[in-house]
Amino acid sequence: MSDIVIRKLGPGLSPTSQHHLKQIISHRRHLRPGEDLQRQGDASGTVHFVLEGILCRYKHCGEKRAVLAYLLPGDFCGPHPDFNGILDHGICSLTHATVAEAPHHLWQECLHHASDLTKALSVLFLAEIRIQRQWLANMCQPADKRMAHLLCELRARLEQVGLADDHSFSLPLTQQELGEALGISTVHANRTLQHLKDQELVRIVDRRVVIADLAQLQAFAEFDVGYLAIWPAMITEPRAVAV
C-alpha cells in the first residue's frame, strides 16, 4: 500500500532509496473522521504520508475553520526536514484514513542515506506551494467557478495516484467541508453545487463526483492542469508517471 507514496515521489528515486523509504514508513496509523494528526501550536512533530482517506490542513479563523489544503493518498504531510519551529496549522482527518508514520530518528537516518529523497521531498513541497498559490488566486473568482476548479483539481490529483478517471471519482467529503475549503458557507456550497448540476457540469451522487464532460467542466472552471505537474515530464506527458 505504500506503493502510492513511491508513485507520487516519482521516477527520481533510486531503487535503493525506494527500498529504504518503504522500510521507514512501514508503520501505519489509523485516523477516525475528525481526528487531528497534528494541532496548530504543537512543536514540530513526526513525519507522515497519507495512504488512504482525505485529510486537511486547517487554521481557525474567527468562529470558522479555514481549510488550507487537502491531503490525498500519496501526499506528504510534513513537517519538512528543514523546519524546526512551531506548527502554524493543524492537520485533521476528514474521513477514515490511514497514514504512514516515520519515527523521527529513522527518518533522519533515511534522509542521510538516501540523498535523492531530500530532493524528491522538496519537489513535492514545491508542488504543494503551487497548489496553495492557485487556491489563493482562485479567491477572486465567484463561488461556482471555484467549486468547479476544486473538483477539477481533486480529480487530477487523484488521477495521479490512480484513484480517478475522466468520468468520476470517490469524494467522501460533506458540503460543509467543501465550503470550508472555498471560504463559503455550507448553504452556499449547496447552492453552488446545485448550480453546477443545473448546468449539467457535475453531479455528486452517493459520495461520488460524476462528470459528464471533463473538458467542458475544466473550461468553465478556467482550470489549467499545469500547476499540478510534479515532475517536469508530466507537463508534456502527464501519463508518464502512471505507467
Partner DNA sequence: CGCCCTTTTGATTATGGTCAAACGTTGTGG
Partner DNA sequence: CCACAACGTTTGACCATAATCAAAAGGGCG
Contacting residues toward a second copy, per CB under 8 A: 57, 59, 61-62, 64, 66, 68-69, 80-86, 88-89, 119, 122-123, 126, 128-130, 132-141, 183, 222, 226-227, 229, 232, 235
> In terms of DSSP bridges, do strands 202-205 and 208-211 run parallel, antiparallel, or are they unpaired?
antiparallel
- Smallest separation, CB 152 to DNA (Å): 17
CA distance 143 to 189: 8
Which of these, 53, 95, 55, lies nearest to 71 by C-alpha position?
55
Judged by CB under 7 A, does residue 186 bind DNA?
yes
Cell output for 89: 496549522
- Smallest separation, CB 45 to DNA (Å): 26
**Partner from DNA, a second copy, none contacting 7, C-beta within 5 to 8 A by type:** none
Cell match 471519482: residue? 169
**Partner from a second copy, DNA, none contacting 80, C-beta within 5 to 8 A by type:** a second copy
Judged by CB under 7 A, does residue 194 bind DNA?
yes
- Smallest separation, CB 226 to DNA (Å): 24
The crossing angle, in degrees rounded to 10, of helices 186-198 and 143-160 is: 80
One character per residue 135-164, x = contact with DNA (rule: CB under 7 A): -------xxx--------------------
Q: Rounded to 10 degrees, what is the CA torsion of 216, 220, 222, 226?
A: -30
Cell output for 84: 524546526
Residues at the interface with DNA (CB under 7 A)? 142-144, 174-176, 183-188, 190-194
